[in-house]
Amino acid sequence: MKPAPFDYVAPTSVEEALEHLARGAGDANVLAGGQTLVPLLALRMATPSLLIDVNRIPELAGVSRVTGATRIGAATRQKAVLKDPTVAAQVPALTKALSFVGHPQTRARGTLGGSIALGEPAAESPATALALGAVVEARSTRGAREIQVEDFYLGPYTTTLEPDELIAAVRFPDWPASTVTVVHEVSRRPGDFALVGLVCALALDGGRVSRAGVGWFGMGPQPMRSRRAEQALVGLSASAADLAEIADMAVSETEPLDDAQADASYRRKVGGRIFQRLVGEALGVRRAA
């Protein structure tokens, strides 16, 4: 399983990378961690003429704080994000999500930006970004723009990123310090893509939910978000919560597929159950007998 031939460049600045991308005319791939792209190259399912390696661009990697948000360079290794104390403090859902991603050997190379750009429907990072209301900073030779993650995913492995655009960073706006988070996945083996995965962030204000973010992975042709369920969660307190109905609502906003691992009805059922149980636990709801 050897890749087809391609040209390769390893620019050392974002500008240089953007120039290559612009000239690549849609037949270039960005090589970040390679954990997804290289297998596609090996299977000859991807046959770009040009590979633009972004691993030698210092400004593309690193975690920093900007006003009201945590900014993670697209080429930051998943391993680094997982261990980063700022992320742990400010975006704990992302830290939890990354603990499910692959294995140490893949996290040593895989990048957050690569994962966000791919938009694997059963992957943890895109769904987490979606649930938390993250923002993609995209750049091209034509300029820079910001894309809300909720507008970013169009379909299976399809994003609004233009062929000449590069993700420079992903920004995670702050949630209140009181926020509790749930990240859970059901998979066949640890490190596998999820059969069903849930990311839920609940900001609490005086014991009531003031803001909710509900994202799913493995529950549709792209990362999914349950907006109506989010609205239904707002205002809930632990004592008043009837999560069965909200769980149904949340699942109804997903579009799970049948595949070799599980069918859609399995995913809906399990999705509803883990939502009810784990969101309930996060809220401190006592389960009805």
Beta carbon of residue 5, minimum distance to another protein (angstroms, whole number): 4
Nearer CB in complex with another protein: 138/182: 182
Nearer CB in complex with another protein: 100/153: 100
Beta carbon of residue 82, minimum distance to another protein (angstroms, whole number): 11
Beta carbon of residue 177, minimum distance to another protein (angstroms, whole number): 28
Distance from C-alpha of 115 to C-alpha of 119, rounded to nearest angstrom: 6
Label each residue of the chain as H, E or C: CCCCCCEEECCCCHHHHHHHHHHCCCCEEEECCCCCHHHHHHCCCCCCCEEEECCCCHHHCCEEEECCEEEEECCCEHHHHHHCHHHHHHCHHHHHHHHCCCCHHHHCCCEHHHHHHHCCCCCHHHHHHHHHCCEEEEEECCEEEEEEHHHCEEECCEECCCCCCEEEEEEEECCCCCCEEEEEEECCCCCCCCCEEEEEEEEEECCEEEEEEEEEECCCCCCEECHHHHHHHCCCECCCCCHHHHHHHHHHCCCCCCCCCCCHHHHHHHHHHHHHHHHHHHHCCCCCC
* Residues at the site binding another protein, with contacts judged by CB under 8 A: 1-10, 31, 34-35, 38-39, 41-44, 51, 53, 55, 79, 102-106, 108-109, 186, 188-192, 195-196, 260-263, 265-266, 269-270, 273-274, 277
Nearer CB in complex with another protein: 69/257: 257
Beta carbon of residue 9, minimum distance to another protein (angstroms, whole number): 8
Nearer CB in complex with another protein: 33/126: 33
Nearer CB in complex with another protein: 55/237: 55
Beta carbon of residue 39, minimum distance to another protein (angstroms, whole number): 4
Beta carbon of residue 74, minimum distance to another protein (angstroms, whole number): 17
Nearer CB in complex with another protein: 13/105: 105
